[in-house]
Amino acid sequence: MAAGPQLDIFLVVIYDDVIMRTIVNIPEQQLTDLAEISRQEHISRAEAVRRAVAQYLRAWKVAGSADDAFGLWKDRKVNGLKYEDRVRREWQRP
């Protein structure tokens, strides 16, 4: 039997996200809590850390967006203190 052509197969894996390993120091109590969360959620400790970091970053971005509010009223022809007094009077009981 004659040998057929040899096929070389290359497997190329392309990731959309680059995952980097990092070393962090975590206090023992936090590790204990993390282990409990991981057990209850049926996820690895690494996945729990990834989720925590993602949640922190989302919250940080939302908090950082407060800077966008500065200067919103700069073009309005309103006295800020008078406006504030008028609005607060709406809250007072008759």
Q: Write down the domain spans for the chain.
A: 27-65
Q: Which is higher by pLDDT, 54 or 5?
A: 54
pLDDT value for 92: 75
Q: Which tokens in the block code for residue 40?
A: 């209850």
Structure tokens at 48: 């729990």
3-state secondary structure the chain: CCCCCCCCCCCCCCCCCCCCCCCCCCCHHHHHHHHHHHHHHCCCHHHHHHHHHHHHHHHHHHHHHHHHHCCCCCCCCCCHHHHHHHHHHHHCCC
What pLDDT is recorded for position 91? 83
**Residue 44 confidence (pLDDT):** 93
Stated pTM of the model: 0.51
pLDDT at 30: 93
pLDDT digits (tens, 9 = 90+) for 31-90: 999 999 999 999 999 999 999 999 998 888 877 666 777 777 788 888 888 888 888 888
